[in-house]
Amino acid sequence: MTDREEKISELIKNELNNVDFFIAYGRGYDPIHVKPLFVYEEKDLDDLVMNIFCIHNNASYLKTVKDKKVGIVVKGCDSRAVVQLIQEGLINRDNLRIIGIPCTGVISIKKLKEKMDISRVTEAKVESDSVIIKTSDEEKRFEKDDLLADKCLWCQYPTPVIYDHLVGETIEPSRPKELEYKIVEEMEKEDLNVRFEYWNKELSRCIRCYACRNVCPMCVCQDQCVMESRNPHWISLKSNITEKVMIQLIHAIHLAGRCVSCGECERVCPMDIPIFKIKQKMNQIVEELFDYKAGIDLEATPPLYTFQVEEAKIKEREW
Amino acid sequence: MVMSMSWFIPENEFDIFVKNLSKKRRLFVPVKENSIVRFVEFKDGIKPYFEKQATSSAKNTIFPQTETLFRFEYKKDPKDLKKFSVEISETIEAPETVVLGTRPCDARGFLVFDKVFLNPKHPDIYYQNRREKSLFITMTCTDPEPTCFCKAVGSSPADSLGSDILITKVKDGFFVETITEKGEKLLNELNLKDGDAYSKEAEKVKDEANEKLESPFDTKGLSTDILKLFNTNFWEKELAHCLSCGVCTYLCPTCYCFNITDETSDSEGERIRTWDACMFFHFTLEGSGHNPRPTKAERFRNRVGHKFSYFPDRYDGMIACCGCGRCIKSCPASVDIRKVIIDLKEAANESA
């Protein structure tokens, strides 16, 4: 165990009496696959890890355990989901114990997979700005920045925005904010037909497994979601492109002013569909229109929770 | 079963072989798109990808995610508008199909489907028609991955059961052998070179492949162990990190559950069959509003129970899992079914 893991472990041990369980990170089936670790008793902590592969947003589970007292380990990006859920009154702050982890970025397995065969990883480690991955046949060294998840490259919240305990020193944001909507701006340079073809092709792979929805910390409708509901019957169960597009648009629009840009929807997609782009477009609009970023300020009211006849920045103002 | 006959395709002639296969039939091949590999219909310009196991199984080739069972149209009687009739039209589609590049686990998966859909008492005509007209050309798995566990469920990297033709990569090309009569008939059409000279080399490759894999658990007593833990909190704790999405079931070569719905607009519509997943809340939701599996713990218990207990108990011990490991590799929460099984055996042992 590293020092940081020891500290987290110690904090969880001390807090375990105050909660039903703790959600941390644990060892997965190989060194690059980490799993959300549910700690019920001290011995569960044997599996605890805290490293560059801890990409999962543990706040994804909060919507399913609203009636429980829960401890949770969060990075900066994850903590925004916790704040947004509290802002919306969907979870109760008093039921939460939060361990915050200042973070300098986590690795996208998909990016790593593009660079090497990841089926036989035996060891993975970080040495300053490099990531070293060993397999049974080779050892590869990568620049850390080349492997980080997109969201880390423009991260403005390396330190959690809410916590009871912080493990490690506060980290000041150092990534360029301008990159935040670059993936959207790049796409918008393309002709409309090209974009149309692009989304037709990408979304055609969707298998309607709803991983993007289930992992989304803000998708709180859960079993009532219209993607499957027969009453209301807004979309059919067919696997046509029209349904697949509709599903993503419903998800994005339902997240307007709520999406915390954790990127989990895209990470979990088993068909590698770049759906985070859709969410980022929505977030860009929300930021331009309402000057609002989700999950930053406990006291703020999310823009679509209010209705003002004249929003400060809508173009209708000039009509 | 027929006497095994063999052919040989030199490395540089494999593309021609693929093209020839597609001439008279619908051909499915694995294709890489972004970071994933899936089976799609072959057409000119498509480059098949055989290097790694496909991300999704080949089940879509004969069990499409959506299929129309029939179409219907309500027609009003012009003389009496209170009366109307329903016209129904059949829609069975079953073109001759070849699936190239399956792994032994993919082909084994359909044996599980067969038990259910080809039950002699009530065969499913949609599946039956497509199954009869489909042929599987499997490739020996020379590089089984650490997530593979086909040996634990009675298969192996060079298993030919369920395939019509087995291809094994040898140094200078591909050794091709027939497993079924269907496979032999197809290969006779294709005018390939004799493969006898390569059979020894291929056998060696297959033996080596089989030796590469270990068995992470023993299925003996597993069915009883699962039932023993049925009403315990084992499932809730073990699967606490499961997101209850459909990744595992939809990528699985053996998961065959489906939904049937009517999708209507105005006076016409169709009855469709679509994939369904036991991990979804709606899967068992009853008309009354009662749901016998209200949480993911019961749902995952069903997934494991179905594969390793209820199915084998009902169908001569056949385990409804082919050990391909896709559910492990693609799970967003790193749920590992091997670990679930190892842990449940231990828990059942402790409770005994």
Predicted confidence (pLDDT) per residue in A74-84, tens digit: 999 999 999 99
Residue B92's pLDDT is 83
Residue type at position A67: D
Predicted confidence (pLDDT) per residue in A265-291, tens digit: 999 999 999 999 999 999 999 999 999
Contact B333, B243 (CB under 8 A): yes
> CA-nearest residue of chain B to A268?
B332
* Binding-face residues of A in 111-130 toward B, CB within 8 A: 113-114, 117, 119-120
Closest CA to B46 of B55, B56, B57, B37: B37
Q: What does the alpha-carbon distance between residue B227 and residue B235 come to, in Å, rounded to a whole number? A: 12
Dihedral sign of CA atoms B235, B239, B245, B251 in order: negative
Residue type at position A122: T
Residue A231's pLDDT is 82
Average pLDDT over residues A46-55: 97
Closest CA to A73 of A15, A24, A6: A24
Residue B3: pLDDT above 60? no
> CA-nearest residue of chain A to B241?
A36
Helix (H) or strand (E) holding B139: strand B134-139
By the 10 Å C-beta count (0-12 exposed, 13-18 middle, 19+ buried), A292 is classed as middle
Residue A280's pLDDT is 97
* Binding-face residues of A in 135-194 toward B, CB within 8 A: none
At B41, is the secondary structure helix, strand, or coil? Answer: strand
Cross-chain Cβ contact B146/A60 below 8 Å: no
Residue B91's pLDDT is 84
Residue B327's pLDDT is 97
Cα distance from B337 to chain A (closest Cα, Å)?
A: 10
Residue B63's pLDDT is 96
Average pLDDT over residues A132-142: 95
Rounding to the nearest 10 degrees, give the CA dihedral for residues A292, A294, A295, A298: 40
- Nearest CB neighbour to B35, from listed A60, A113, A239: A113
Strands B6-10 and A165-166: unpaired
Residue B127's contacts (CB-CB under 8 Å, 6 or more residues apart) are: B62, B63, B113, B117, B118
Average pLDDT over residues B335-340: 97
Contact A267, A55 (CB under 8 A): yes
Percent of chain A exceeding pLDDT 90 equals 88
Contact A290, A303 (CB under 8 A): yes
Q: How confident is the model at residue B81 (pLDDT cuts 50, 70, 90)?
A: confident
Contact B146, A120 (CB under 8 A): yes
By the 10 Å C-beta count (0-12 exposed, 13-18 middle, 19+ buried), A153 is classed as middle
With beta carbons under 8 A apart, name residues in chain B contacting A240.
Answer: 66
* Binding-face residues of B in 88-107 toward A, CB within 8 A: none
Angle between helices A241-254 and A276-290 (to 10 degrees): 40
Predicted confidence (pLDDT) per residue in B103-131, tens digit: 999 999 999 999 999 999 999 999 999 99
Give the residue carrying structure tokens 């798995």: B141
Residue B261's pLDDT is 94
- At A79, phi and psi to the nearest 5? -65, -25
Q: How confident is the model at residue A230 (pLDDT cuts 50, 70, 90)?
A: confident
Cross-chain Cβ contact A210/B146 below 8 Å: no
Average pLDDT over residues A52-58: 98
B333 contact A CB<8A = yes
Residue type at position B197: A
Alpha helices in chain A (DSSP H): 3-15, 76-87, 109-115, 144-147, 150-153, 182-188, 192-204, 211-215, 241-254, 264-268, 276-290
Predicted confidence (pLDDT) per residue in B264-322, tens digit: 988 999 999 999 999 999 999 998 989 999 999 999 999 999 999 999 999 999 999 99
Q: What is the pTM of this model?
A: 0.94
Residue A19's pLDDT is 97
At A34, is the secondary structure helix, strand, or coil? Answer: strand
A218 contact B CB<8A = no
Q: What does the alpha-carbon distance between residue B310 and residue B296 come to, in Å, rounded to a whole number? A: 19
Q: What does the alpha-carbon distance between residue A162 and residue A180 come to, in Å, rounded to a whole number? A: 22
With beta carbons under 8 A apart, name residues in chain A contacting B261.
Answer: 230, 236-237
> CA-nearest residue of chain A to B270?
A238
Q: What is the CA radius of gyration of chain A?
A: 20
Q: What is the CA radius of gyration of chain B?
A: 23
Q: What is the mean pLDDT of chain B?
A: 94
Cross-chain Cβ contact B332/A211 below 8 Å: yes
Residue A224's pLDDT is 86
Query: In Å, what is the CA distance from B255 to each residue of A3, B165, B247, B292, B330?
Result: 44, 23, 11, 20, 15
Give the residue carrying structure tokens 């070179």: B193
Q: What token pair was written down for B268?
A: 């016409």
Residue A311's pLDDT is 67
With beta carbons under 8 A apart, name residues in chain B contacting A114.
Answer: 35
Q: What does the alpha-carbon distance between residue A25 and residue A38 come to, in Å, rounded to a whole number? A: 8
Give the residue carrying structure tokens 């019957």: A233
Mapping DSSP onto H, E and C, the string for A115-163 reads HCCCCCEEEEEEECCEEEEEECCCEEEEEHHHHECHHHHCCCCCCCCCC
Residue B1: pLDDT above 70? no
Residue A304's pLDDT is 87
Rounding to the nearest 10 degrees, give the CA dihedral for residues B162, B25, B19, B7: 40
Residue A315: pLDDT above 80? no
Residue type at position B342: I
Cross-chain Cβ contact A215/B243 below 8 Å: yes
Q: What does the alpha-carbon distance between residue B295 and residue B332 come to, in Å, rounded to a whole number? A: 18
Q: What does the alpha-carbon distance between residue A48 and residue A39 come to, in Å, rounded to a whole number? A: 9
Complex ipTM value: 0.94
Closest CA to B351 of B231, B266, B250: B231
Average pLDDT over residues B237-259: 97
Average pLDDT over residues A139-150: 97
List strands edge to edge, sheet with A130-135. Answer: A121-127, A130-135, A139-143
